[in-house]
Amino acid sequence: MTPSRSTPVQAALSTSQSTSFSADGVQHQHEGRPAPRRHGKDVEASRRMSSRLRLMIRGRPDPDAAQWEALGQALWRGDPLADELMTWMQANGMAKTWPQFERALKDPASVNGETPAALRAFILRTQGWPEWVNADKMRLGARVLQATGLHGMMVLRDAGLMAGYQASGINQTLVMTGSLHKGAQRRVAETTAWWLACTEDGGMAPGAEGFTMTLRVRLMHAMVRHQLCRNPQWDADELGLPVNQVDMQATYLAFSVVQLLSLKTTGVWLTARESEAVMHLWRYIGWLMGVEDGLLCDDEHTGRTVLYQNTVSQAPADETSVLLGRALMDEPLHRHYANWKAVRGRFNKARHLSLVRWFVGPEGMRALGLPATIPWYPLAVMAPFALRTLVLHAVPGLMASWTKWARTRQRNYLTVLMGDRSRPPHLTGNDPGSKGQAS
């Protein structure tokens, strides 16, 4: 099957009805309902936020009227497969149903006609690879990301996570679920643990750690939707559905398109084949996470256009951007360094701020409440990184040795982030909902 080249809204255009959960936990139709007020709240500000991305796109990427409307409607859509499973789990008690979910996840062959319908549908739908998946591309995509070493993880944090805080509509879910109080350092560590599992050799094969972690995260997103839809402080007319399809697509694009762009603009040269493999890997991860097929893409240039259309539809930065941005700015100070903690913490804070400045510019720094700085680090490493990647591609056998070494550094970095703490329940398979709270 030929990989889909659809725009971010074609699936929404072909969907006549969309559903979401209201405060009573029941799905309701939103056909023809006006888009939430956050949609296109300040298009000019969002265009300025996307101006650097716009320079890297051939042609005119702006959505037409039909595409724009469809993006707004996608704010009302969640993940019916996971939402129905969460409805069943909460109705029957998380303490009882989470172990059932884990048993089915670890032993899908045990799922049969006696398995509750919502659980059976979720497991059967996610166990097999879609016919468009290419195992060789998946394998290469993982190896490419392994070879990016610590720099690949740094730019993902700064261009994906930090820069993404400028989209204030997405931030509301983070703030209302307590992510700010739980700490930026914890969120970075948990995301890193998941990313490492997904990018291991064979990490996304059914039953592998990256695969099972991804499905647990997907279910946690459904839990968040249920919790916030019951929260009287959640303004659906303003924000749409929590963890909706537009915001899920933005997250998927951060791990694929944004990381590729951030690597290339800091001197890490990749071949077209390597970029395509990374896009393919994340297309599958996005699909497994519950992003609609029509919101996924399999080539980088289409991905840039999709990202631009998504970004210009997002509400621009607000006070939540500053709160989250400043918390993440100080995250390097709280890492578990083996020695020279104060010095290394301050150096890494300055290095990350330098990278953020490179990616978002002066206006983005102000929007995130970050201090003015110069992009000294990317300017210092760009030429050496470019030379290194050219040598790695030119010398036979060198890339394999480098990838092994770079991956070891990535794994060691997780220890610096995590310290002695264990991974959170929603990544390990323990019941995260026994107290009725999502991590």
The Cα 433–Cα 424 span in angstroms is 12
Predicted model pTM:
0.91
Cβ–Cβ < 8 Å for 104, 110: yes
pLDDT of residue 179: 75
Work out the angle at residue 238's Cα, subtended by the Cα atoms of residues 237 and 242, and round it to the nearest 5 degrees: 85
Q: Which residue has the tokens 């990256």?
A: 210
* Residue 408 parent element (H or E): helix 398-418
The dihedrals phi and psi of 381, each to the nearest 5 degrees, come to -100, -10
Q: List the one residue out of 348, 359, 340 whose CA is nearest residue 53.
A: 359
Give the helix/strand (H/E) hosting 274.
helix 272-289
Which residues are within 8 A (CB) of 44 and not within 5 positions of it... i.e. 6 or more apart? Answer: none
User: Which run of H or E residues covers position 102?
Assistant: helix 94-106
Longest dimension (CA), the chain: 62
Amino acid 126: pLDDT: 97
By C-alpha distance, which of 76, 389, 66 is closest to 237? 76
What is the residue whose two structure tokens read 């993982």?
142
* CA distances, 357 to each of 230, 334, 361, 371, 377 (Å): 38, 21, 5, 10, 10
The predicted structure's pLDDT at residue 432: 62
What are the residue ranges spanned by the domains of the chain? 46-75+134-170+237-418
Please give the Cα distance from 396 to 387 (Å, whole number). Answer: 16
Query: Which residues are paired to 21 by β-bridges?
Result: 27
What pairs with residue 19 in β-bridges?
A: 29
φ and ψ at 20, to 5 degrees?
-150, 175
Backbone angles phi, psi at 270, to 5 degrees: -125, 145
Residue 182: per-residue pLDDT: 74
- Cβ atoms of 286 and 252 within 8 Å: the answer is yes
How much of the chain is in helix, strand and coil states, percent to nearest 5?
A: 65, 0, 35
**Strand 19-21 to 27-29 pairing:** antiparallel
- Residue 419 pLDDT: 85
What residue ranges of the chain have pLDDT lower than 50?
Answer: 1-28, 434-439
Write out the two tokens for 367.
Answer: 């929007």
Whole-angstrom distance, CA of residue 208 vs CA of residue 215: 11
Q: For position 1, what pLDDT does the model report?
A: 33
Query: How far is 268 from 307, CA to CA, in rounded Å?
Result: 21
For CA atoms 82, 85, 87, 93, give the dihedral sign: negative
